[in-house]
Amino acid sequence: EDQVTQSPEALRLQEGESSSLNCSYTVSGLRGLFWYRQDPGKGPEFLFTLYSAGEEKEKERLKATLTKKESFLHITAPKPEDSATYLCAVQGRLAGYALNFGKGTSLLVTP
C-alpha cells in the first residue's frame, strides 16, 4: 500500500529564515510526486510535479527535490505570504488514477 508521511506537522519561521519540509513515501512504482499549497478555506493549489529521482523544480522562493524515498520542499527567505499548509501526494503504478496524500505541513512565517 502506498504511504506518504510529511514532517514536521507544523513549522514556524521568522521572515527570511530558510528551511525544508519533508515528504517520505513508499510506493509501488512511482508515477509522480506532487506538491500543493492550501490556504485556509481554499482548495489545494498546484506547485510542482516530480517524476524521477534527482529531479528538481523551482518557483520563486520554493524548490522541490526528489530521491527514491523522499522529497523536500525547500523554502528560501520565506515571507509571511508563504504561510499555508503544504501537501505532498504520490501516484503509484498500482493505484490507478488516485493520488495518495500526506496530512500536510502547516507553515507559519512571522514578520
26-40: string of b/e by CB count within 10 Å (b at 16+)? ebeebbebbbbbeee
11 or 47: CB nearest another protein: 47
- Residue 44: cis peptide before it, omega within 30 degrees of 0: no
Options 23, 36, 66, 73; binder of another protein; rule CB under 8 A? 36
Q: State yes or no: residue 87 binds another protein (CB under 8 A).
A: yes
Q: Rule CB under 8 A: which of 90-109 touch another protein?
A: 91, 96-104
Q: Which residue in this structure is represented by grid cell 508521511? A: 5
Q: State yes or no: residue 78 binds another protein (CB under 8 A).
A: no
Options 42, 59, 68, 79; binder of another protein; rule CB under 8 A? 42
Cα–Cα dist 17/62, whole Å: 13
3-state secondary structure of 74: strand
Q: State yes or no: residue 72 binds another protein (CB under 8 A).
A: no
Shortest distance (Å) from residue 80 CB to another protein? 23
Q: State yes or no: residue 13 binds another protein (CB under 8 A).
A: no
Q: Could you count the other beta carbons within 10 Å of the beta carbon of residue 18? A: 11
Do 102 and 53 form a contact (C-beta atoms < 8 A)? no
Q: Which residues are near another protein by CB under 8 A?
A: 4, 31-32, 34, 36, 41-46, 49, 51, 87, 89, 91, 96-104
